[in-house]
Amino acid sequence: MIGIISGLLITSYGHGHREAMRRMVNQRNAQEIVSLGVCATMGGADFVVKDDKMATVENLIKGTVGKDGLWKGKTFRLTGLDHHRIPDALDFVRFEAGLLLYEPAGGQL
């Protein structure tokens, strides 16, 4: 009996751990997207597609060029992010006044 209960608890713990890891990866990817987006915005890059987070991120993946200040002529490109993970990461990204912002709660407010 103890063995069965232990097995169920260990399985439940493993599932919870996997979910926590998945959430952490999605949050980290969202932070990377927003960080690059903020820098590109500060550089005057034109990459934001109003109310379309996925199209905006696709523009960052292709690369966008800064037009102002220190970043004039510099390319901002999102690299190293698995394309299939983007939709889950976007749960932690929101638009406000045309800017990408990180949403730690993942839209679960």
pTM: 0.81
Distance from C-alpha of 44 to C-alpha of 20, rounded to nearest angstrom: 36
Is residue 21 situated within a structural domain?
Answer: no
pLDDT digits (tens, 9 = 90+) for 54-92: 999 999 999 999 999 898 999 999 998 878 889 999 999
Query: Of all helices (H) and strands (E), which one includes residue 96?
Result: strand 93-96
Is residue 51 situated within a structural domain?
Answer: yes
State the residue range of the domain holding 75: 27-102
Is residue 20 situated within a structural domain?
Answer: no
pLDDT digits (tens, 9 = 90+) for 4-61: 665 655 665 566 678 888 899 999 999 999 999 999 999 999 999 988 999 999 999 9
Distance from C-alpha of 70 to C-alpha of 77, rounded to nearest angstrom: 17
Is residue 9 situated within a structural domain?
Answer: no
Is residue 107 situated within a structural domain?
Answer: no
Is residue 13 situated within a structural domain?
Answer: no
How many domains, in total, are found in the chain?
A: 1
Residue 105, classed as helix, strand or coil, is coil
Is residue 12 situated within a structural domain?
Answer: no
Question: Residue 67 has what pLDDT?
Answer: 96
Do residues 66 and 41 lie in contact, with contact meaning Cβ atoms separated by under 8 Å? no
Please, what sign has the CA dihedral across residues 65, 68, 73, 74? negative
For every residue of 32-53, DSSP letters joined together read: HHHHHHHHHHHTT-----TT-H
Is residue 52 situated within a structural domain?
Answer: yes
Question: Residue 94 has what pLDDT?
Answer: 93
